[in-house]
Amino acid sequence: MIDAEALLAAARRPLVIGMGGGGDVVGALATAEACRLYHGAEPVLGGVTWERRVIDPRPGPRPIEQIEGAERLSDCVVAAGPDTHADGVVFAESHMAHYLGERTVLVDPHPGSAAIADGVAEAADVLGADLIVLLDVGGDALAHGGEPGLASPLCDSLMLAAAARLQSSGRDVLAGVFGVGCDGELTPDEVMERVSEVAAAGGLAGVRGLTEPVAERLEGAVKEVPTEASAMAIRCFRGHTGVAEIRRGLRTVALSPLGALTIYLDPSKAVSSAARLANAVMDAGSMDEANDALNALGVRTELDLERETAAGN
């Protein structure tokens, strides 16, 4: 079994990636900052080239070729600075680079899980990373597909599938959920049921909670990086309870101490158990093929929604 505590404590240069796009990079900061503060590591933080519609009205993630002001690390990964953008759209990772005063990374999920895994591996080598951690904010990466609130399964599924591929290649890799239920998609009960499935398969690697210094660091990040879900996790740490609205009132979040946790998982065990959608896109050769695979299961994705919105439907 994977021991997250041992891997995180031993890593000198962890590459920590928010796997769902948008503000997931803030959730990933919780792990990166803990590695820095408590283990003396020099983490590299990153995310995906997919911004929320309120930030970028163009459907889907931005391809590498559209990104300006970045350094290419591999076919699908770039190093981003404060001025990195695409057609004037500034990425959450660019804001994070400004906040941290150091480069972040951006992963383009267009080419499918195999190419994503290869690209992340190459970038990790360039950066000198000795551990790769992919974090999902909320827990929808573990979705079965029929959950009533599920809205953005595509990017998470592709990235979790890529994490499993990275692990199978011999890399030290962790997957994780930060802020249980804080994105307003799967409920906390649904997320914990899915985590229990992974645990039953031998894939629960460990759990960590926010601490005061890490929470303060995240609170600073939230002031610069547009995010709602990760901000809910901080509210959970501060003792808020009840129900909060996000996404302009379209979604609700049940606030509880669960939201202040990061739950670490074995990526391969997650994909072979609870994360049915990640398993479904494992062999897709592109993001569009992955989207088709999820549609075939009756699952509507964030890409479908964005394309329909752009078309005025």
Q: Which residues, 6 or more positions from 233, have their beta carbon under 8 angstroms from its beta carbon?
A: 27, 30, 137, 178, 179, 182, 210, 218, 259, 260
pLDDT in tens, 254-292: 899 999 999 999 999 999 999 999 999 999 999 999 999
Residue 313 — pLDDT band, cuts 50, 70, 90?
low
Residue 32 has pLDDT above 80, yes or no: yes
pLDDT in tens, 225-258: 988 888 999 999 999 999 888 777 678 888 999 9
Q: Is the dihedral of CA 244, 247, 249, 253 positive or negative?
A: negative
- Kind and range of the H or E element at 253? strand 251-255
* Mean pLDDT (the chain, rounded): 96
Q: What mean pLDDT is predicted for residues 167-183?
A: 96
DSSP 12: S
Residue 111 — pLDDT band, cuts 50, 70, 90?
very high
